[in-house]
Each structure stands twice: as structure tokens, then as C-alpha cells.
Amino acid sequence: VNHPVRDLDEVVHQRVRLGILAVLAETSKADFTFLRTTLELTDGNLSRHLQVLEESGYVAVEKTFERRRPRTWVRATRAGKAAFARELASLRELLHRVDQAGGRK
């Protein structure tokens, strides 16, 4: 039996990183403050998880200045979108399997 959790990619599955990719699935790019507020994170926690996603090639981070103030934009790369889609597919399979098992009991 190949259990669906075996297909989960821990880089994407981790709660905060899943949240980042979920927000980026709803918008072409999000800024650091928006991500931090939406996901209720500290600066350090968000930075750390963005770095993991960036090192995996799943997000691109762009630091800009707007009216002389720094602003950090984040967007999902093509690889990040694909990894998020695979995660969603595995989660759906897991939920389906749990539903089936519940029906059998």
C-alpha cells in the first residue's frame, strides 16, 4: 500500500510554507508585510521559511524601494506552483482515503 503521506514534500507541506504558497496561489505577488499579517507570523519566522522556499527554487524574492522605503515582494516560481499543485493532489488523495476508510468502519 502506498500511503499518500509518502508523497508529501516536507518543503511544501510544513504549515507556514504551505500558507505562503497558498497565499501566492491567490495573487501574482505578495509583499512581506501582507504575508506576515495574513499568516500571523513574526518577521523572523516568515524570513526563515521564505529562505527555505527560495533555496528550493519555489519562490522568488525581490527587494525594491518605493518612495525610499524598502519593500520585499514574493512570488511563486513555476517550480513552486507545480510543487504546490502536487501537495494539493496528495492532500486530496489523503482526504479521499480517510473518507473511504470512515465509510468502511
1 binds a second copy (CB under 8 A): yes
Burial classification of residue 93, based on how many CB atoms lie within 10 Å of its CB (0-12 exposed, 13-18 middle, 19 or more buried): middle
**DSSP 8-state class, residue 41:** -
Neighbours of 80 (CB within 10 A): 25
Give the nearer residue to a second copy in terms of CB position, either 38 or 56. Answer: 38
102 binds a second copy (CB under 8 A): yes
Among 44, 65, 69, 101, binds a second copy (CB under 8 A): 101
Least separation in angstroms between residue 84's CB and a second copy is 8
Q: How many residues does the chain have?
A: 105
**One-letter amino acid for residue 80 of the chain:** G
Least separation in angstroms between residue 67's CB and a second copy is 26
42 binds a second copy (CB under 8 A): no
**One-letter amino acid for residue 100 of the chain:** Q
Least separation in angstroms between residue 71's CB and a second copy is 20
